[in-house]
Amino acid sequence: MSQEPPHYRVSRIAKELEASGRDVIHMEIGDPELDTDPRIVDAMCRAAREGHTHYAPTRGVKPLLERLVGYMERFIKPGFDLSIDNIVVTPGSKVAIYTALRLLRPRKIFVVEPMWGLYHSFASEMGIEIVHIPTRMEDGWELRTEINGVEKGDVIAVVNPNNPTGTILSRESISNILETAREADAYILADEVYFDLIYRGSMTSFLSMDYDRVLAFYTFSKNFVMSGFRVGWVVSPSKDLANNFLNRLRLIVGGPPPFSQYGAAEALTLMDVLEKNRRFYMETLQYSVERLREMGFRFVEPSAGMYIFAEPPVEEMNGVEFTYRLLEEEAVAVAPGTGFGDYPGYVRFTTSLRMERLEEAFNRIERFLERR
């Protein structure tokens, strides 16, 4: 049986409180409080009216695949040797990760933590042994330990830029992980969802490192605010690995609705939308950094994404107790650190709320702390 991630449980309780009449502010789930650009919605509706309502090719519709090739080259590596045969369009990133693990069936998965909690849940459900590779705030969430015990066919999973910390691993760390995988003939699951939402510095993609046993995951949910469209994509430097992934996806669920894919294809022509959304995330993230610092939270300032992973300034409770008491007393839902590894002293804040709701959330948190 799979284990429900702790922040999913928090979200369920929060929705129950809402149903009872409480005004709950949701900072536990990464669903941006923005509307999808009307041009993307129009493209989706137009595609449906034009008859794109039947089964789509499992790899994806051709206009989307062709535009993804250019998009990846723009953000990952100019001149990147990539074709549509290296890409598979997926119904979001969760399905992609699940499909990858079903395909690879590793004996062990080495998880660089903190890590988005669904990796733990999927591995637990499939009976895959989880090897935790922790990083620390004191090290800037940089990987300082070697990954030992990796054998042929095992998987190393990395979220970079990171969810929940918003930090970016150095090129040295990426190179060390790559060499570990290369020496063992292991696979790398590279969760690079926030690759186009970087505000400071730059990232090194595993796709640019000349290693074939990589499956990299991406989604339209955050960058183009299309979480309800359920469109993501997977890239592998190996066409054989991409095709094997495609065949497994075909067995499990197939691709997203074709009209959603045409909406995604339109999004890739609208770089003004991406830049507008990036500015929104930057502004709400910076405001959140300032408010949390004023209240005494300890954290590394994020360089990407839409989250802050922080230690609350309270000695009498850990992050889990902080989460549930804050929800009960002030109706603010955050994610406990235990959902991302062995981090009971931390909580994750989603900062992609409209500014007035974000301000109200931090006012409630400040009020909660003043009573301690």
CATH of the domain at 11: 3.90.1150.10
Distance in Å from the first CA to the final CA of the chain: 38
For residues 326 and 298, membership in a common domain is answered with yes
For residues 129 and 247, membership in a common domain is answered with yes
Is the pLDDT at 4 greater than 80? The verdict is no
**CB 157, CB 115: distance < 8 Å:** yes
For residues 264 and 132, membership in a common domain is answered with yes
pLDDT tens sequence across 196-216: 999 999 999 999 998 999 999
Final residue before a domain boundary, out of 270, 299, 322: 270
Residue type, 256: P
Final residue before a domain boundary, out of 270, 304, 321: 270
Q: What angle do CA 230, 235, 239 make, to 5 degrees?
A: 130
For residues 109 and 232, membership in a common domain is answered with yes
pLDDT tens sequence across 27-49: 998 899 999 999 999 999 999 99
**42: in domain:** no
CB atoms within 10 A of CB 162: 28
pLDDT number for residue 314 = 93
pLDDT number for residue 79 = 61
**78: in domain:** yes
The CA distance from 296 to 311, in Å, is 9
Tokens of 33: 């409080």
From residue 145, alpha-carbon distances to 190, 302, 312 in Å are: 19, 22, 26
pTM for this prediction: 0.94
For residues 225 and 331, membership in a common domain is answered with no
**173: in domain:** yes
Residue 270: closest CA among 37, 77, 27: 37
pLDDT number for residue 3 = 67
For residues 58 and 207, membership in a common domain is answered with yes
**194: in domain:** yes
Mean predicted confidence (pLDDT) in 148-155: 97
**41: in domain:** no
The CA distance from 166 to 337, in Å, is 14
For residues 252 and 166, membership in a common domain is answered with yes
CATH number at residue 153: 3.40.640.10
**44: in domain:** no
pLDDT tens sequence across 243-259: 999 999 999 898 999 99
For residues 299 and 334, membership in a common domain is answered with yes
pLDDT tens sequence across 311-329: 999 988 999 999 999 999 9
Range of the domain at 76: 54-270
Percentage of the chain with pLDDT > 90? Answer: 90
**212: in domain:** yes
For residues 95 and 195, membership in a common domain is answered with yes
Number of domain units in the chain: 2
For residues 223 and 352, membership in a common domain is answered with no
Q: What angle do CA 356, 357, 361 make, to 5 degrees?
A: 120
Residue 350: closest CA among 120, 142, 116, 121: 116
Residue type, 146: E
**43: in domain:** no
The residues facing 131 across adjacent strands are: 110
Final residue before a domain boundary, out of 240, 270, 300: 270
For residues 62 and 178, membership in a common domain is answered with yes
Tokens of 272: 């003004």
For residues 266 and 295, membership in a common domain is answered with no
From residue 314, alpha-carbon distances to 10, 318, 322, 360 in Å are: 20, 8, 8, 21
Burial class (CB in 10 A: 0-12, 13-18, 19+), 152: exposed
pLDDT band at 2, cuts 50/70/90?
Answer: very low
The CA distance from 204 to 229, in Å, is 28
